Structure 1
Amino acid sequence: MAGQHGRGGWPGALAVGGALVLGAWMLHDGGRVLPPAPGSAQAGFGAVSVVPPLGPSVPTRIRIPAVRLDAPVTGLGLDGAGHLQPPPDDDRNLAGWYRGAVTPGQRGTAILAGHVDTRSGPAVFYSLGALHRGDRIEITRADGSIAGFQIYAIEVYDKQHFPDDRVYGQAGDAQLRVITCGGGFSRADGYEGNVVAYAFLADTTKPKKA
């Protein structure tokens, strides 16, 4: 897996915004229910982890207690145009980890992405915009360890002005980005933006000994 040990840069620009556009789910009366959007009070940058980073281990599950999210994680790659491919949309409770980056808990910036909704209803990251600074994200890893992250910012960006370097840039400590669609919605173009949660490694749980 490229970048598994935090060496080197990104393999081309990741255009997540273009890859995760889906139609908002429809109510029976034809109306639309847009996902929660983060308020301006949830913006903020500069938080750094002081917890020693973990070694590489593939993420298997994500939990966000504040919104009762508990979902398996699958690996994601890039398509031919360099866009991050979203998880399959036949499972609404499935998150994806970008295999070209570090694993969550390693030194660097780990990337998780998922659908906000599918044609059949809200999906795994529908409530991402409802989170707040200080909320916890737990990533269970294949080696049995758990990387606990604390959110320090949640922002929504227009797809035309998505800050690639800010979101994808490799951090010197252990960081996590969780990304889904959001912002306004139009019938012609789908979601107009992306919601991004920023988090730093707050604590770790070592694998239980056999």
Structure 2
Amino acid sequence: MSASPPTRIRIRAIRVEARVIPIKLDVAGHLQPPPPDDSNVVGWYQGGVTPGQNGNAIMAGHVDNKRGLSVFYSLGRLRPGAEVEIERRDRTTAVFTVDAVEVHPKDHYPDDKVYGATSRSELRLITCGGRFSKKTGYPDNVVAYAHLTRTKHA
């Protein structure tokens, strides 16, 4: 697929239907999450490929916020074979199939595996995980790994 920014994400298996906004890296080079105030928004790393292009598209969402559960609260419940639909500005939809969902400790995060180059169109969905501590936050990240299986045209 050609480059076209994502506008919406749909994951029927965990009842996600949300708008997508661009996100960047912070000054330390870490992925900036989307604003915490909106519990139903997913961020797409605009410094990488758009979902559907060859390469690894990165998207992140919150598990919760001060008001309650957020968009990726159930990300860890995804199973291989589940579909993730990414609507794009060009009115096409990139459909990805989940290969795996893993939990990685933040202090031993596999950057190459999560963010590294791929030879096909892939998608990573990322959120926080583990037991929350008011002092240190979440100790882990939940990462869903998926690959492009089909496209739809509006």
TM class, shorter-chain normalised?
Answer: over 0.9
* 1:81 and 2:23 aligned: no
Report if aligned partners of 1:93, 1:123 keep a CA contact under 8 Å in 2: yes
> What CA distance in whole angstroms lies between the structure 2 residues aligned with 1:130 and 1:110?
21
Paired residue type of 2:128: C
* 1:193 and 2:135 aligned: no
Paired residue type of 1:77: K
Report if aligned partners of 1:111, 1:177 keep a CA contact under 8 Å in 2: yes
* Count of matched residue pairs: 154
- Bigger strand share: 2
> What CA distance in whole angstroms lies between the structure 2 residues aligned with 1:98 and 1:139?
14
* 1:134 and 2:81 aligned: yes
Instruction: Report the counterpart of residue 115 of structure 1 in structure 2.
Output: 62
- Offset at 1:186? 2.2
Instruction: Report the counterpart of residue 179 of structure 1 in structure 2.
Output: 126
- Offset at 1:168? 0.2
> What CA distance in whole angstroms lies between the structure 1 residues aligned with 2:83 and 2:130?
23
- Offset at 1:183? 1.7
- Offset at 1:185? 2.4
Relative to the length of structure 2, the TM-score reads 0.98
- Offset at 1:123? 0.5
Relative to the length of structure 1, the TM-score reads 0.72
- Offset at 1:78? 1.2
* 1:68 and 2:15 aligned: yes
- Please point out which of 139, 151, 154 is paired with 2:98: 151
Instruction: Name structure 2 gaps, 5 residues minimum.
Output: none
Paired residue type of 1:165: D
> What CA distance in whole angstroms lies between the structure 2 residues aligned with 1:89 and 1:132?
26
Report if aligned partners of 1:157, 1:183 keep a CA contact under 8 Å in 2: no
Paired residue type of 1:194: N
Instruction: Name structure 1 gaps, 5 residues minimum.
Output: 1-53
Paired residue type of 1:107: N
Paired residue type of 1:146: T
- Offset at 1:89? 1.3
Larger radius of gyration: 1
- Offset at 1:95? 0.3
Instruction: Report the counterpart of residue 100 of structure 1 in structure 2.
Output: 47
- Offset at 1:68? 1.3
Runs of 4+ in 1 over 6 A off after TM superposition: none
Q: Percent identity?
A: 56
